[in-house]
């Protein structure tokens, strides 16, 4: 859980508790929305809608994805309706600051810089960085083994920095799909990416030609994020996530999209 979760005021916690109690007893979502500072009984959630498998449109055009279903489950637990506002990543925090939506569900990573300005819920995904190589590669077993090797990386990704720091020569790519193609063709030795990206690929494609050689010790946590005046909402979301973890919903959604529970 992020550090500023422990700094919630007693008033915010009390408001959240009242909201959750109201949902459980009366089932009248309007009361919950009022207690949480919402406009009516609808939770407005920002998401990109172009970020598979977290937030994207399926073949029928419906907005789906791991983050989308987590947000829907949270809203249902709180007795609220839900409305998604698809927003480009570059504008998503500005929209939150302007009050155009109540929270963001789009794999927002908890960082010290963001914690200085926003309040996070408990995390609903936990991941690491993974070093991926060809299935028959026995030369690369750690990040240190990348020294002198070639790694396919997006130049704007933090994984590019890790590859460079490990001594790899970087082959620039536009994303995961291109990196895997080069790896399977034997044109690069490795690629580094988020473990969730790898799990999604392994869950939906034939991943027999690649394997994970190593993973980072440091974990990345993604959570719902709100502005400071919405601490009561963050606390209420925490309660909902606790329920969804206890009843197996988070594990079930992880299995659906990644083949395993990625919530802890």
Q: What is the mean pLDDT of the chain?
A: 89
Q: In the chain, pLDDT over 70 holds for what percent of residues? A: 87
Confidence of residue 12 (pLDDT cuts 50, 70, 90): very low
- Say if 263 falls within a structural domain: no
156 and 68 in a common domain: no
What is the β-pairing status of strands 220-226 and 150-153?
Answer: unpaired
80 and 19 in a common domain: yes
Question: Which of 64, 66, 16, 68 is closest to 46 using CA atoms?
Answer: 68
At 160 the pLDDT is: 93
Number of domains in the chain: 2
Return the half-sphere exposure (C-beta side, CA atoms, 13 A cut-off) of residue 26. 11
At 5 the pLDDT is: 46
The domain boundary residue, chosen from 184, 199, 215: 215
Average pLDDT of span 8-13: 40
Question: In degrees to the nearest 10, what's the CA dihedral of 252, 112, 131, 187?
Answer: 110
Q: In the chain, pLDDT over 90 holds for what percent of residues? A: 80
Of the listed ranges 2-6, 30-34, 197-201, the one predicted with least confidence: 2-6
At 39 the pLDDT is: 81
At 3 the pLDDT is: 41
Q: Which domain holds residue 164?
A: 129-215
Of the listed ranges 15-19, 46-50, 103-107, 253-257, the one predicted with least confidence: 15-19
Buried b (16+ CB within 10 A) or exposed e, 68-87: bbbbbbbbbbbbbebebeeb
72 and 18 in a common domain: yes
37 and 54 in a common domain: yes
- Say if 264 falls within a structural domain: no
- Say if 74 falls within a structural domain: yes
User: How far are the Cα atoms of 149, 164, 179, 198, 258 from residue 142, in angstroms, in the given order?
Assistant: 12, 14, 19, 17, 24
At 125 the pLDDT is: 97
CB 65 within 8 A of CB 52: yes
103 and 41 in a common domain: yes
15 and 122 in a common domain: yes
At 32 the pLDDT is: 59
Burial of 37 (0-12, 13-18, 19+ CB in 10 A): middle
Of the listed ranges 2-16, 102-116, 203-217, the one predicted with least confidence: 2-16
92 and 28 in a common domain: yes
Return the half-sphere exposure (C-beta side, CA atoms, 13 A cut-off) of residue 87. 21
- Say if 111 falls within a structural domain: yes
196 and 93 in a common domain: no
At 35 the pLDDT is: 76
- CATH number at 134 reads 3.40.190.10
251 and 122 in a common domain: yes
170 and 232 in a common domain: no
- Of residues 9 and 218, the one with the higher pLDDT is 218
pLDDT tens-digit profile of 64-90?
999 999 999 999 999 999 999 999 999
Confidence of residue 37 (pLDDT cuts 50, 70, 90): confident
At 242 the pLDDT is: 98
- Say if 209 falls within a structural domain: yes
Confidence of residue 158 (pLDDT cuts 50, 70, 90): confident
Residue that is written with structure tokens 């989308």 in the block:
68
109 and 73 in a common domain: yes
Is the pLDDT score of 245 beyond 80? yes
- Say if 155 falls within a structural domain: yes
Give, for 211, the enclosing helix (H) or strand (E): strand 210-215
Average pLDDT of span 123-150: 97
245 and 117 in a common domain: yes
Average pLDDT of span 147-157: 93
CA 180 to chain centre: 22
């Amino acid at each position: 859980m992020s550090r500023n979760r422990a700094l919630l005021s007693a008033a915010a916690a009390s408001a959240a508790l009242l909201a959750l109690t109201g949902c459980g007893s009366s089932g009248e979502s309007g009361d919950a929305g009022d207690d949480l500072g919402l406009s009516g009984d609808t939770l407005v959630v920002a998401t990109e809608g172009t970020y598979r498998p977290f937030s994207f449109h399926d073949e029928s055009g419906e907005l789906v994805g791991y983050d989308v279903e987590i947000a829907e489950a949270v809203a249902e637990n709180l007795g609220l309706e839900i409305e998604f506002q698809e927003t480009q990543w570059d504008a998503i925090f500005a929209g939150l600051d302007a009050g155009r939506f109540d929270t963001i569900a789009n794999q927002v990573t908890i960082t010290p810089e963001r914690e200085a300005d926003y309040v996070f819920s408990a995390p609903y995904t936990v991941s690491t960085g993974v070093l991926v190589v060809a299935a028959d590669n026995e030369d690369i077993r750690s990040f240190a083994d990348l020294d002198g090797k070639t790694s396919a990386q997006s130049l704007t990704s933090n994984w590019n920095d890790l590859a460079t720091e490990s001594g790899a020569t970087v082959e620039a790519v536009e994303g995961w799909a291109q990196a895997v193609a080069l790896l399977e063709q034997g044109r690069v030795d490795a690629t580094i990416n988020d473990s969730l990206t790898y799990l999604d690929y392994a869950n939906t494609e034939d991943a027999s030609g690649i394997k994970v050689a190593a993973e980072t010790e440091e974990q990345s946590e993604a959570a719902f994020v709100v502005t400071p005046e919405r601490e009561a909402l963050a606390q209420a979301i925490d309660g909902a996530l606790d329920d969804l973890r206890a009843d197996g919903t988070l594990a079930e959604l992880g299995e659906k999209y990644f083949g395993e529970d990625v919530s802890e």
